[in-house]
């Protein structure tokens, strides 16, 4: 029995020594920690204050123990947040972490990371709180420098986490997309992506995080962002991984390339215009060598005839030859006038005006002095809209002239109808019940100086439809023919409902 008692006392002595050693270790850790380690009662009264807290806040332990933490280091504007975190901890018993600013003894503020942990009594009830405060001023300065660099960048910059939540944007992002940073922060990145691309984006985001690395986005595809007003903006995106305290994030540098795209489109348009001009130049060369020479040869031949008449004193034939000569000269003048009109097609003089197409069609038809038996029929209501009147009048006038000139009956009708297309154009159709145009000539009639009958049998130079085609295509439209070549012909041309981006001088 005596031996057993000695063993029991030795065991308790060993346990007591272990507890003492553990307490000494804990005390050493608390004393040597660079962080502020503070314990408080459940109502915020300070019960312990380590050397780290003394160094961080400038108060000795004797100055603060027994005082409320709110009266010592928590500035007035931080009371609500601290109290809210304490209340949350008491409700759910979970550790709470947050960043805040706390006051030094001399009054200056310190950026700190704060962790609140519940202290429980032997019954498991929360009786106090253990507080760890870490000076994060250096980290905050780094973050501010990082934010300053991002803010000064000429491109839009968006920082988002692995879940696609936007954590930071710069001023350029606000300008490009039309949102404030308050509206963007905390939202999914998909809000900046057009609806047709959103479903596929999470998979693309996950692919980046599975193999992070700097890279351009899109792989050669055209990329678009969506603004606050729903419009789309062409963009280029560069992605860079960024390691943060909260884990891996991605920094997206977004460049608005609207001006570059516009410049590219303008250059492409100029290239098309250059190609068209070169083609026209080649046509002009053909005209000069063939079509213009033909009446000149006729003039020379008639001059020779008149000279022979004079030499042989055949005066009775001279008036007829003179009339033919004047006819050839008028034909030459018409060719030159039409060629000049063709070269100027699309170079509009005048501005945008209100046009009543029904009224315009009636006026232009009457100006052609049609035969009494030929009538104009307007099918449905023709539109009224703002446009460049001069080129549109030229198109309609030439189509009327062509239909009237080639009509082969004493009575007939010309119809004009209109409908809107899905791509922002009016589709006008001018239909006549004349002889029609065989399908094999549907393309040829739009070439310069092309007629389906000999020149001496038809009035005009054959430039009318070529001029119409050039004007219509100058404004982005098209013109087509529907005719079986037996009876009737429909000329359909499209004209923009709204004209923009063209020079009106």
Q: Give all strands of the β-sheet with 479-482 in edge-to-edge order.
A: 374-378, 412-420, 425-432, 489-496, 479-482
> Could you tell me if 95 and 89 are in contact, meaning their C-beta atoms sit under 8 angstroms apart?
yes
| 29-135 is a CATH 3.30.450.20 domain | yes
pLDDT of residue 460: 52
The mean pLDDT value for 64-71 works out to 94
Where residue 7 falls among pLDDT bands split at 50, 70, 90? very low
Assess whether pLDDT exceeds 90 at residue 30. no
pLDDT of residue 505: 35
**SS3 of 364, please?**
helix
Assess whether pLDDT exceeds 60 at residue 114. yes
Helix (H) or strand (E) holding 299: helix 293-312
pLDDT of residue 292: 65
140-256 shares the fold of 29-135: yes
Q: Which are the contacts of 500, defined by CB distance < 8 A and separation ≥ 6?
A: none
For residue 45, give the DSSP letter. Answer: B
The mean pLDDT value for 281-286 works out to 66
For residue 291, give the DSSP letter. Answer: I
pLDDT of residue 56: 95
Assess whether pLDDT exceeds 70 at residue 32. no
**Least confident piece of the model among 158-172, 303-317, 445-459:** 445-459
Tokens of residue 179, six digits:
């949102």
The mean pLDDT value for 272-277 works out to 82
**SS3 of 82, please?**
helix
The mean pLDDT value for 164-175 works out to 95
The mean pLDDT value for 358-376 works out to 93
Assess whether pLDDT exceeds 60 at residue 24. no
- Per-residue pLDDT of 189-236, as tens digits, reads 999 999 999 999 999 899 899 899 888 886 667 899 999 999 999 999
pLDDT of residue 502: 46
CA distance 379 to 490: 13
Domain boundaries, the chain: 29-135, 140-256, 347-505
pLDDT of residue 272: 86
The mean pLDDT value for 269-298 works out to 72
Instruction: Tell the CATH superfamily of the 140-256 domain.
Output: PAS domain (3.30.450.20)
pLDDT of residue 291: 60
CA distance 423 to 405: 33
Assess whether pLDDT exceeds 80 at residue 28. no
Count of CB atoms within 10 A of residue 43's CB?
A: 9
CATH number for domain 347-505, candidates 3.40.50.620, 3.40.605.10, 3.30.300.350, 3.30.565.10: 3.30.565.10
The mean pLDDT value for 345-366 works out to 84
For residue 459, give the DSSP letter. Answer: S
Percent of the chain at pLDDT > 70 equals 82
Any idea which residue has 């400038």 for tokens?
A: 58
For residue 162, give the DSSP letter. Answer: T
The mean pLDDT value for 85-114 works out to 93
């Amino acid at each position: 029995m005596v031996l057993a008692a000695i063993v029991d006392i030795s065991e308790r002595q060993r346990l007591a020594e272990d507890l003492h050693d553990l307490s000494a270790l804990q005390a050493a850790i608390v004393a040597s920690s660079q962080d502020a380690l503070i314990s408080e009662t459940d109502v915020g009264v300070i019960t312990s204050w380590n050397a780290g807290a003394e160094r961080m806040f400038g108060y000795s332990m004797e100055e603060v123990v027994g005082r409320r933490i709110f009266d010592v280091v928590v500035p007035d504007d931080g009371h609500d947040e601290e109290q809210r975190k304490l209340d949350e901890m008491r409700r759910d018993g979970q550790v709470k972490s947050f960043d805040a600013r706390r006051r030094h003894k001399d009054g200056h503020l310190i950026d700190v990371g704060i962790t609140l942990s519940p202290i429980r009594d032997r019954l498991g009830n929360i009786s106090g709180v253990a507080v760890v405060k870490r000076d994060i001023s250096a980290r905050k300065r780094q973050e501010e420098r990082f934010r300053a660099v991002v803010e000064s960048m000429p491109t839009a910059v968006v920082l988002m986490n692995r879940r696609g939540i936007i954590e930071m944007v710069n001023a350029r992002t606000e300008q490009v997309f039309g949102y404030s940073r308050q509206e963007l922060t905390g939202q999914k990145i998909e809000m900046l992506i057009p609806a047709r691309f959103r479903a596929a984006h999470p998979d693309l985001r996950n692919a980046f995080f599975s193999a992070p690395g700097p890279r351009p986005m899109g792989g050669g595809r055209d990329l678009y962002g969506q603004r606050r007003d729903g419009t789309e903006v062409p963009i280029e995106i560069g992605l860079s991984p960024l390691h943060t305290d909260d884990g891996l994030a991605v920094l997206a540098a977004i460049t608005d390339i609207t001006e570059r795209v516009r410049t590219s489109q303008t250059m492409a348009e100029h290239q098309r215009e250059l190609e068209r001009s070169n083609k026209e130049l080649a046509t002009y060369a053909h005209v000069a060598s063939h079509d213009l020479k033909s009446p000149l040869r006729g003039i020379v031949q008639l001059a020779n005839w008149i000279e022979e008449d004079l030499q042989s004193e055949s005066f009775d034939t001279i008036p007829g030859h003179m009339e033919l000569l004047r006819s050839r000269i008028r034909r030459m003048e018409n060719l030159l006038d039409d060629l000049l009109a063709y070269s100027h097609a699309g170079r509009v003089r005048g501005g945008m005006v209100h046009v009543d197409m029904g009224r315009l069609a009636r006026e232009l038809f009457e100006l052609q002095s049609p035969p009494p038996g030929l009538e104009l029929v307007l099918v449905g209501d023709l539109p009224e809209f703002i446009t460049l009147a001069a080129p549109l009048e030229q198109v309609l006038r030439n189509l009327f002239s062509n239909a009237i000139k080639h009509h082969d009956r004493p009575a007939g009708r010309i119809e004009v109808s209109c409908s809107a297309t899905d791509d922002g154009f009016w589709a006008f159709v001018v239909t006549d019940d004349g002889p029609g145009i065989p399908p094999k000539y549907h393309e040829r009639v739009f070439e310069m100086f092309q007629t389906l009958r000999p020149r001496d049998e038809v009035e005009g130079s054959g430039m009318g439809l070529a001029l119409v085609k050039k004007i219509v295509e100058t404004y982005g439209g098209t013109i087509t023919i529907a005719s079986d070549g037996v009876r009737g012909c429909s000329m359909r041309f499209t004209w923009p409902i709204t004209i923009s981006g063209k020079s009106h001088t």
